[in-house]
Structure 1
Amino acid sequence: MDISIVVPLYNEEESLPELTSWIAKVMAANNFSYEILYVDDGSTDSSWAIIEQLKLEYSAIKGIKFRRNYGKSAALNVAFAVAQGDVVITMDADLQDSPDEIPALYRKIKDEKYDLVSGWKKKRYDPITKTIPTKLFNAATRKMSGIHLNDFNCGLKAYRKEVIKTIEVYGEMHRYIPVIAKWAGFKNIGEQVVEHRARKYGVTKFGFSRFINGFLDLLSIFFVGKFGKRPMHFFGSLGVLSFLLGTLMALWLIGVKLYHIALHLPYKREITDQPMFYIALVAIIVGSQMFLTGFVAELVTRNAPERNHYLIEKEII
């Protein structure tokens, strides 16, 4: 099979017939073998009933329905598990992503040998309250990940099959799939300018909390990707640094007092009366706690079933 088209959706009953017809038209024009995987993320409208009706007309349709709303990451993860196409295309169901972009994304993967190609909605039809935070979010992600994409959160993406069968998407990590793919060893990541269309049906699911959660998720994926198998390197290093800093401060205070005593010089304040003493004490305690945290995390990691799970691309036995 050439292409699996994954479409997570939540209350998109109006757009589904038009989207399906449009996808089928593009696939037929390019002679692609394909499947459409609709994942109903706990919709409260008639979205699932429409998917069942569309299945009678389009044999390529497959569907998964959640009992409640779990989020886009969960929808993508279950769809990735069952997708069969050599190239997997993800897109939103609100018709803001154009199916006409699919052939170009497919060729990027097959002909130019990319692992992942992310859409870039260079010209957007969003209010400024959404575009400015999005630019800040993309800039921070580029800086921390080292991946030079302009639009990490674009729903229109193309993946080589090996990518989606290797990575795991959870929480709200769907916006960081390029970062997850890079940490999994898929470094050939590209970008394609795509059309952004104005919303025709329904209402946006956008909320300001996305950016707060997004920043926390970025820190999480950065830490797990870099130190997931060696947490002592992170906590232990910071713990030792803090402990040594606090110890040096305490030794300095003691040394200064002994110096004054040896030379019979007046000493105005006791060590315990000085603010630096308490700063040193806190640094020593925090350092000890961080070191112990790293030790416990290391024990947990060593007992995890995936402790020796490494991604092997090729082998000769």
Structure 2
Amino acid sequence: MNSNVALSVVVPIYNEEESLPFLVNQLLEVLQPMEETFELVLVNDGSSDNSAEVIRKLSFDIPELVGVLLRKNYGQTAAMAAGFDISSGEIVVTLDGDLQNDPADIPLLVNKIRDGFDLVSGWRYRRQDAAISRKLPSKIANRLIGKVTGVRLNDYGCSLKAYRKEVLTDMRLYGELHRFLPVLANIEGARITEVKVNHRARQFGSSKYGIDRTFRVLMDLLTVWFMNRFLTRPMYVFGFGGILAIIGSFITSLYLLIIKLLGEDIGNRPLLIFALLLAVTGVQLFGFGLLGELQIRTYHESQNRPIYRIRDTFRGRLET
């Protein structure tokens, strides 16, 4: 790690061999005139194409390039976590490797960090994606996330973000929580803002996301909601659920007792039994799920084990 680096740009890479040379050239065109020491941290997330080899070749001519090759495809969250751990800049900027994020917006984000913010999130104000399959679900998800978490942003899905390094060191990423980084930062008391950024149509390859992403977002949203509100006081949610279950059981038992005293047979009510079983099972499953999330966090943080494994790391060097 280079302690003299002011700015680290972290880019998760998965099957982007065609776009990589163009992306790196555009980044250098933007970063070099900024007159700040910088590094490009390219994290190859187990690509099945030649992305790793492209990164290695680029490193021969670019001393600021840091290549990180993961052993397999762990997912974007793990790739970003690896990039955060490897990076050494006071400010860390992230963006996608598919050329849809515009590197020319990086100075705008960095200046906002210099103004006193801890996290600056990009807002793809004029997003160049399909309206029905990408933009509409994203708009609904952004409103839902803002309402549930209380951190209201127009575009949670934009990878172009800037962070103070100390904010990232306070956070632990698991699962697919990279899209909820503003919420995790808010838990740590970070000052957050949002700026409009440019968005470009994809030039190479195809999107890596499918319809299953929607379900993953919903599950992660439930986790983040719990972490945001009840991480240090889980009894608030478990106790509330338990009280509701007890009250429901008491009311039902009282009703059955009354009709039993009135002479009605209560031994043949399968629908009531089924409803009670569903209620109890639902509370138990919800509680077990949240307890499982807490146990996973405790497991990783107590052992200080990363969610990725690095095969190789190399720093750029001028070819001789």
Q: TM-score range by the shorter chain?
A: 0.7 to 0.9
Q: Is the 8 A contact 1:13 1:45 kept in 2?
A: yes
What is the CA deviation profile of residues 74-126 of structure 1, one whole-angstrom value per residue up to 9, with x for unaligned ones?
00101111211111100111111111101110000012x11111101011111
Alpha-carbon distance between aligned partners in 1 of 2:192 and 2:205, rounded to the nearest angstrom: 32
Alpha-carbon distance between aligned partners in 2 of 1:213 and 1:64, rounded to the nearest angstrom: 26
Extract unaligned runs of 5+ from structure 2. Answer: 303-320
2:246 matches 1:251: no
For residue 308 of structure 2, what is the aligned residue in structure 1?
none
Q: CA deviation at 1:197?
A: 0.8
For residue 138 of structure 1, what is the aligned residue in structure 2?
142
- When normalised by structure 2's length, the TM-score is 0.83
Q: CA deviation at 1:284?
A: 8.7
Alpha-carbon distance between aligned partners in 2 of 1:148 and 1:71, rounded to the nearest angstrom: 25
Extract unaligned runs of 5+ from structure 1. Answer: 261-266, 308-317
What is the CA deviation profile of residues 178-222 of structure 1, one whole-angstrom value per residue up to 9, with x for unaligned ones?
111112222x11101000011112222121111111111111121
2:179 matches 1:175: yes
Cα 1:177–1:44 change in 2 (3 A) is same
Q: Is the 8 A contact 1:238 1:287 kept in 2?
A: no
For residue 94 of structure 1, what is the aligned residue in structure 2?
98
Out of 128, 148, 154, the position equivalent to 2:152 is: 148
Alpha-carbon distance between aligned partners in 1 of 2:21 and 2:288, rounded to the nearest angstrom: 53
- The alignment of Structure 1 onto Structure 2 pairs a total of residues equal to 294
Alpha-carbon distance between aligned partners in 1 of 2:19 and 2:279, rounded to the nearest angstrom: 60
Q: Is the 8 A contact 2:143 2:152 kept in 1?
A: no
Out of 273, 277, 295, the position equivalent to 1:278 is: 273
Give the match's secondary structure for 1:6.
Answer: strand
Q: Is the 8 A contact 1:118 1:156 kept in 2?
A: yes
Alpha-carbon distance between aligned partners in 2 of 1:47 and 1:305, rounded to the nearest angstrom: 29
Give the match's secondary structure for 2:163.
Answer: strand
Alpha-carbon distance between aligned partners in 2 of 1:292 and 1:178, rounded to the nearest angstrom: 25
Alpha-carbon distance between aligned partners in 2 of 1:287 and 1:102, rounded to the nearest angstrom: 46
| Counterpart residue type for residue 44 of structure 2 | D
Out of 232, 240, 244, the position equivalent to 1:241 is: 244
Between the aligned residues of both structures, percent identity stands at 39
Q: Is the 8 A contact 2:123 2:194 kept in 1?
A: yes
Alpha-carbon distance between aligned partners in 1 of 2:70 and 2:301, rounded to the nearest angstrom: 28
Give the match's secondary structure for 2:267.
Answer: helix
Q: Which has the higher contact order (CA 8 A, sep 6+)?
A: 2
Q: Which moved more, 1:80-89 or 1:235-244?
A: 235-244
| Counterpart residue type for residue 270 of structure 1 | D
